[in-house]
Chains A and B, each alone.
Chain A
Amino acid sequence: MSMSLDPVATVSPHPLLSRYAECSMWLARYMERIENLARIIDVTEIFVRSGASDGWRAIVQINADEERFYASHSKATADRVIAFYVIDAGNPTSITSLALAARENARALRPLISTEMWSQLNIFTQFLRGLRAEDIRPSEISQLCARIKQECQTHTGITEGTFYRDQASLFYNAGRQLERADQITRLIDIKYHTLLPVAAGVGSEVDISQWTSVLRSAAGYHAYRRVMAGDLRPSSVVGFLLKSEAFPRSLVCSLRHLHNNVSRLRSDYRLRDAGGIVERIEFLRAGLDDQTVGQIITRGLHEFLDWVQRQLQDVQTDVAQAFWPPPRPVSAPAIEISGQTQSQS
């Protein structure tokens, strides 16, 4: 007998509907964004407790939501900002709204994702959409954030264990890494924007405890301690968050994975349009690799973070243009959720 071919190994890759690619990417982005928003709310709560009275205002600022927030609120108090970012269905950047967006992308992907993925997303997003004012009282908020983080990670785990590894999973992973990269820059920026109490300067106890909180909220505190021991200088913490090759939420890690996923679209699935996007990501990686943290801080940390965010936005735009271009006759109305209108922030 001659050798037999494995039918699974020899099957040619199936084409992937553009809409599925788009929904895969955005499902990942929205889930990652929900997790990060929970992290940011959690850490801000700690900042404010430690005396950074402007902490809640800073969240509004770094999300560039001032205009919409102050349209309906006169002051950035804790309960108002938390309500705005957790349960306000009128705010597209609230967890409730993100949950709806994640849910609708997941529903569109039901033909593709595993039953386990859908079932967990179904229950979780319904839970988020059902949150009420009593669920976000000061006594509840930290627990709620913990639960949200955990459910998001459950989603991540189920996805890792059950999502079939074809094109759709590459788009999904690209979306997660893109969002994670964006979010780490926002997390660093929130510390930058948060004013220290007058009495406390850079390197003070409050300053250090705030940097510690940033590390904790990114789940990096203990790893940082292990590697950097007692060095809690801001530049070291920023360096860790931006450039640690081993820390899974660092910018450099997210960009490496993003690069890898998009490169595989080109190499494994012969999507030639991925080439230009790969180059853009390489340019972005070089912008990070070619400067030391000291240089980045000296030249302006905020400006650098801002630049990264804009680059990431361009990557998203390029991906959309390459893989789900609008239909040629542009008369079709934009579908609110699954069209081109899913937004960066």
Chain B
Amino acid sequence: MGDSADESVTHHGTQNAASPPSHREGLFSGYLNDAFFCELTNSGGPPDPRILQLRERLGALELGDLRNRAANAERELYNLGITFTVYSERNSIDRILPFDLVPRVLTNPEWRHVEAGVRQRVTALNMFLWDIYHDQAILKDGVVPRELVVGNANYCPQMIGLDVPGKTYVHVSGTDLVRDDDGTFLVLEDNARTPSGVSYVIENRHTMLRVMPDVAAGIDLLPVDDYGVQLQRALAEVAPEGVDDPQVVLLSPGIYNSAYFEHVFLAREMGVPLVEGQDLTIENDKVYMRTTAGLRPVHSIYRRLNDEFLDPDAFNPSSMLGVPGLVSAYRKGNVTIANALGTGVADDKAVYAYLPRIIRYYLSEEPILKNVETHICAEPEGLAYTLANLENLVAKPVGESGGYGLIIGPHATREELAEFRTKLRADPANYISQPVVRLSVSPTLCETGLEPRHVDLRPFAVTGRSTWVLPGGLSRVALKRGSLVVNSSQGGGSKDTWVLAS
């Protein structure tokens, strides 16, 4: 491993004139940011003194020391079972989400902006969902094409006319944000079904404070420990009318689900039972859980199961994970399900393109957070533009998540582009395209030392009768050089996200 003193000699000439020399020493001496917006070293304007302090502290660490700490952190995550399970044919392997020790820092004003934008977006999504499952004013007014909504695979007929408590459909949302070249936050997509990753936000903070106490010392951060309490409160708030002391549960697919750790984490933080489908039963359209003292009523369910697995009577009849009769109980108003059914129509990648118009329609406000410019291939002009400019665009199928099935034009070969054009022409409605955003980077511990790697940000919002946003969110980092895909399934890791307290 390179000695940091040597590297500072080697790269002395490349140091960025905008930064005072003292911050370019030590670990940062070899840090070459190819002119992307960097969350730590190149955020335009004069950096916050606490960010400078952080840079100095990090820079003063020996590379070997940092690697030891990283190894300790990984071992600890593994031993504590902060893992997701990958199943092969014969075996199950526990994996950790790689954790990078260099925090991603948001200043307080940056965070206030994101928070307000997320809140606005969630409010609009909930109003949109209420509307499309009731009067459909936005469709009648032609703001969003009717077919895009009612013809959507995620539009749930069982939800039509159902009055959900608090008019809240999206109780938990994750908004995927990126920053472009000048640091502007842009929304990449909404996650309004069962967004995951929040446990890592909190566990990353714990790990960070354990292995980097000297680096974090004295820097006042907004806490992240409230999440479970806020979620429990929200779910109790929207329990069915007339229930004084609602029983909240978390419904998980069970120990074989790859996100089981997160389900455990949330159940513990909320102080509620983690149940599986087999633990619940329906009698007279009421939900009960099986306990040692017999059946006990359940009023609010935070489910981490997709719609189609919730109730074999209503959806996929072969699903063994759900609870037969649950949807009927839900439709009778005897139980609250969070998130509501049929929210997938709101985080659809095609509906996403209309979100700015949806916000203006319901709230008469300009969107606080902008969308990435989006071309809808279902529309002839969008398709034509996409076909003509594919080599400069990111094109993705609207129904997929996890970074699957997308093409990044500038990184694709001629053959791959040709192949994708064929797919596009065959099923244009399945695709949208966007310009390649030059995602911001953050210094990340790599083979040769600290290197710039692209990051995104997923803030989590919890909505009962009002919306609360967890300070910060999950910063995911694409660990491969040059990669823009941050998904954990595709070689992504995560960082602790700091929000400065003032």
Q: Do A111 and B273 have beta carbons less than 8 Å apart?
A: yes
Instruction: Give which listed residue, A123, A167, A265, A333, contacts B79 with CB less than 8 A.
Output: A123
Q: Do B291 and A17 have beta carbons less than 8 Å apart?
A: yes
Bound-complex Cα distance A324 to B293 (A): 10
Q: Do A19 and B79 have beta carbons less than 8 Å apart?
A: no
The interface residues of chain B lying within 8 Å CB-to-CB of A328 are: 281
The tally of residues in B whose CB lies under 8 Å from a CB in A reads 25
The interface residues of chain B lying within 8 Å CB-to-CB of A18 are: 279, 290-292
Q: Do B81 and A15 have beta carbons less than 8 Å apart?
A: no
Bound-complex Cα distance A166 to B320 (A): 31
Q: Do A17 and B81 have beta carbons less than 8 Å apart?
A: no
- Min CB–CB distance A121 → chain B (angstroms): 9
The interface residues of chain A lying within 8 Å CB-to-CB of B81 are: 110, 118-119, 122
Q: Do B291 and A15 have beta carbons less than 8 Å apart?
A: yes
Contacts A17-B273, A17-B279, A21-B292; is A111 near B255 (CB within 8 Å)? no
Q: Do A119 and B281 have beta carbons less than 8 Å apart?
A: no
- Min CB–CB distance B202 → chain A (angstroms): 13
Q: Is A163 an interface position by the 8 A CB rule?
A: no
Contacts A15-B291, A18-B291, A324-B290; is A111 near B267 (CB within 8 Å)? yes
Q: Is B296 an interface position by the 8 A CB rule?
A: yes
Bound-complex Cα distance A118 to B276 (A): 20
The tally of residues in A whose CB lies under 8 Å from a CB in B reads 32
- Min CB–CB distance A83 → chain B (angstroms): 19
Q: Do B268 and A333 have beta carbons less than 8 Å apart?
A: no
The interface residues of chain B lying within 8 Å CB-to-CB of A265 are: 292
Q: Is B264 an interface position by the 8 A CB rule?
A: yes
Of the candidates B80, B275, B291, the one having the most CB atoms from chain A within 10 angstroms of its own CB is B291
Contacts A107-B260, A110-B264; is A17 near B289 (CB within 8 Å)? yes
The interface residues of chain B lying within 8 Å CB-to-CB of A17 are: 273, 275, 279, 289-292
Q: Do A335 and B293 have beta carbons less than 8 Å apart?
A: no
Bound-complex Cα distance A270 to B291 (A): 13
Against A, the Cβ 8 Å flags (1 = close, 0 = not) of B384-421 are: 00000000000000000000000000000000000000
- Min CB–CB distance B301 → chain A (angstroms): 14
- Min CB–CB distance B147 → chain A (angstroms): 39
- Min CB–CB distance B245 → chain A (angstroms): 10
Bound-complex Cα distance A323 to B295 (A): 11
Contacts A107-B260, A332-B278; is A115 near B80 (CB within 8 Å)? yes
Against A, the Cβ 8 Å flags (1 = close, 0 = not) of B263-288 are: 01001100001111011010000000
Contacts A110-B81, A332-B278; is A19 near B290 (CB within 8 Å)? yes
Q: Is A223 an interface position by the 8 A CB rule?
A: no
Q: Do B292 and A167 have beta carbons less than 8 Å apart?
A: yes
Q: Is A108 an interface position by the 8 A CB rule?
A: yes
Q: Do B281 and A327 have beta carbons less than 8 Å apart?
A: yes
Q: Do B292 and A327 have beta carbons less than 8 Å apart?
A: no
The interface residues of chain B lying within 8 Å CB-to-CB of A123 are: 79
The interface residues of chain A lying within 8 Å CB-to-CB of B80 are: 115, 118-119, 122
Bound-complex Cα distance A259 to B15 (A): 75
Against B, the Cβ 8 Å flags (1 = close, 0 = not) of A306-345 are: 0000000000000000011001100011010010000000
Bound-complex Cα distance A115 to B290 (A): 25
Bound-complex Cα distance A126 to B80 (A): 12
Q: Do A19 and B276 have beta carbons less than 8 Å apart?
A: yes
Q: Do B292 and A111 have beta carbons less than 8 Å apart?
A: no
Against B, the Cβ 8 Å flags (1 = close, 0 = not) of A236-273 are: 00000000000000000000000000000100011100
- Min CB–CB distance B246 → chain A (angstroms): 14
Instruction: Give which listed residue, B79, B254, B290, contacts A327 with CB less than 8 A.
Output: B290
Q: Is A200 an interface position by the 8 A CB rule?
A: no
Q: A170 — nearest CB in chain B belongs to which residue?
A: B292
Q: Do A16 and B255 have beta carbons less than 8 Å apart?
A: no
Contacts A107-B255, A111-B274, A119-B79; is A19 near B267 (CB within 8 Å)? no
Bound-complex Cα distance A54 to B261 (A): 47
Q: Taking beta carbons and an 8 Å cutoff, which residues of B are in contact with A?
A: 79-81, 94, 254-255, 260-261, 264, 267-268, 273-276, 278-279, 281, 289-293, 296, 320
Query: Nearest 10 A-B pairs (CB), nearest first?
Result: A15-B291, A110-B264, A111-B274, A323-B292, A111-B267, A107-B255, A18-B290, A15-B296, A122-B81, A21-B292
21 A-B pairs within 8 Å (CB atoms) are namely A16-B292, A17-B273, A17-B290, A17-B291, A18-B290, A19-B276, A107-B260, A110-B261, A110-B264, A111-B268, A111-B274, A118-B80, A119-B79, A119-B80, A119-B81, A122-B79, A123-B79, A270-B293, A271-B292, A271-B293, A335-B278
